């Protein structure tokens, strides 16, 4: 019979092999689900994971989709390494877009050199306000940040719905829940002309590299790592736990706000009720798939971005519901958490002893 035994140490091999095994199991399980839906499993998985890259401008679309996931995943990897469980990046993403979008709508004729930096600053501050409030509630009232950050995500979503269906609704938008289009001066600079490849595509990997340097090469990063691995030891060493909670939430919230405002000004060009298709929650999977390492978040973000494009391709080509994206991501997270048991444990086959007569 199979028996799970503790290793007594963390396996370096399984630290990096676990995500690969989880991905393979996810592909196999998804194929079985597609077969149960009367779809050819191999063709469906191929359509889901390969076809989007073969289309014209497929890699450009992938980079644009991955940029917000990488930014938020990097911020979450930092917070989770410090045992600060920010689950509400979708709300920080949305509030960042609201704050930056509000500036864009208020000053449409301002010069671009002044307007766009102000929009970006507004987005970052919006995300930091959300994250900072969660940190304050944890420190002041010992409120669980998992619950408070998650609840704020719903609050900000309803705030967005109120604004785009009420005071900010486009008077010429035929009643649709959206704001007017942002002026050209408010749009994110394009890296490739006449495409949606905006400056966020370049910023995302640079932010990941910068956060990796901070985590691995600075005293602050060392404090984050110690706080996450041994809270009592961090306190004994004199590390200011409250300050580290503040910094972790402000950085992760600010990066989510930056991702939100760049999505609004770089991809959509306005605010709508469908601003985020769940990027904040997908970013949680990205951070764990990347092993809570900012560099590892980059390929993880690209993979999860591919699932969004694959869901669209499967919907168009095979008539599958768009919900297959969420199914794939959920299965991946399930297997990732399951396979991580191999980090500290090994599975052995043990012969059962025959019972005595």
Q: What is the pLDDT of residues 218-230, one digit of tens each?
A: 999 999 988 888 7
Q: Report the pLDDT value the prediction gives residue 175, as an integer from 0 to 100.
A: 85
Q: Report the pLDDT value the prediction gives residue 356, as an integer from 0 to 100.
A: 58
pLDDT tens readout for residues 111-150: 999 999 999 999 999 999 999 999 999 999 999 999 999 9
Q: Report the pLDDT value the prediction gives residue 345, as an integer from 0 to 100.
A: 87
Mean of pLDDT over the chain: 92
In the chain, how many domains are there? 1
Is residue 348 within a helix (H) or strand (E), and if so which, with residue range? strand 345-349
Could you tell me if residue 334 is inside a domain?
no
Q: What stretches of the chain show up as alpha helix (H) in DSSP?
A: 12-36, 41-49, 51-54, 58-81, 89-106, 112-141, 145-165, 200-217, 219-229, 231-236, 241-262, 279-289, 294-318, 324-339, 341-344
**323-331: average pLDDT:** 89
What is the residue range of 165's domain? Answer: 61-302
Could you tell me if residue 38 is inside a domain?
no
- φ and ψ at residue 84, rounded to 5 degrees: -110, 110
Could you tell me if residue 118 is inside a domain?
yes
Q: Report the pLDDT value the prediction gives residue 87, as an integer from 0 to 100.
A: 95
Is residue 2 within a helix (H) or strand (E), and if so which, with residue range? strand 2-6
Burial class of residue 116 in the structure, from the number of CB atoms within 10 Å of its CB (0-12 exposed, 13-18 middle, 19+ buried): buried
Could you tell me if residue 10 is inside a domain?
no
Spatial distance between the Cα atoms of 215 and 74, rounded to a whole number of angstroms: 11
Whether pLDDT at 354 is above 80: no
Could you tell me if residue 179 is inside a domain?
yes
Could you tell me if residue 261 is inside a domain?
yes
Could you tell me if residue 15 is inside a domain?
no
- Residue whose tokens read 């394009």: 190
**Confidence class for position 343, pLDDT limits 50, 70, 90:** confident
Radius of gyration over every alpha carbon of the chain, rounded to an integer in angstroms: 22
Q: Report the pLDDT value the prediction gives residue 146, as an integer from 0 to 100.
A: 95
Model pTM? 0.93
Contact 298, 208 (CB under 8 A): yes
Could you tell me if residue 130 is inside a domain?
yes
- Look at residues 92, 97, 67 and name the one whose alpha carbon lies nearest to residue 79: 92
Whether pLDDT at 248 is above 80: yes
């Amino acid at each position: 019979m199979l028996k799970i035994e503790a290793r007594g140490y963390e396996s370096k091999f399984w630290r990096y092999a676990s995500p690969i095994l989880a991905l393979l199991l996810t592909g196999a399980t998804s194929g079985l689900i597609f077969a149960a839906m009367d779809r050819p499993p191999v063709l469906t998985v191929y359509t889901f994971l390969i076809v989007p890259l073969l289309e014209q401008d497929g890699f450009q679309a992938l980079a644009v989709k991955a940029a917000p996931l990488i930014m938020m995943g990097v911020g979450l990897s930092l917070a989770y390494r410090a045992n600060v469980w920010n689950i509400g990046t979708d709300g920080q993403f949305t509030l960042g877009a609201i704050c930056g979008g509000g500036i864009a709508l208020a000053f449409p004729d301002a010069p671009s050199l002044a307007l766009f930096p102000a929009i970006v600053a507004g987005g970052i501050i919006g995300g930091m306000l959300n994250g900072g409030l969660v940190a304050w509630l944890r420190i002041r009232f010992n409120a669980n940040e998992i619950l408070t950050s998650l609840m704020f995500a719903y609050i900000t979503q309803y705030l967005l719905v109120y604004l785009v269906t009420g005071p900010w609704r486009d008077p010429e938008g035929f009643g649709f829940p959206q704001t007017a289009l942002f002026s050209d001066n408010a749009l994110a600079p394009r890296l490739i002309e006449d495409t949606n490849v905006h400056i966020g595509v370049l910023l995302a990997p640079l932010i990941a590299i910068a956060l990796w340097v901070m985590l691995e090469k600075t005293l602050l990063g060392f404090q984050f790592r110690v706080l996450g691995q041994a809270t009592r030891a961090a306190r004994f060493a004199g590390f200011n736990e409250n300050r580290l909670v503040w910094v972790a939430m402000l950085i992760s919230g600010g990066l989510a706000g930056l991702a939100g405002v760049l999505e609004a000004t770089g991809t959509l060009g306005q605010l709508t009720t469908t601003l985020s298709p769940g990027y904040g929650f997908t970013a949680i999977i990205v951070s764990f798939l990347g092993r809570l390492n900012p560099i590892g978040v980059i390929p993880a973000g690209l993979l999860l971005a591919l699932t969004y494009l694959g869901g669209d391709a499967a919907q168009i080509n095979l008539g599958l519901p768009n919900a297959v994206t969420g199914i794939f991501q959920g299965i991946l997270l399930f297997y990732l958490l399951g396979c991580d048991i191999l980090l500290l444990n090994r599975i052995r086959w043990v012969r059962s002893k025959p019972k005595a007569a």
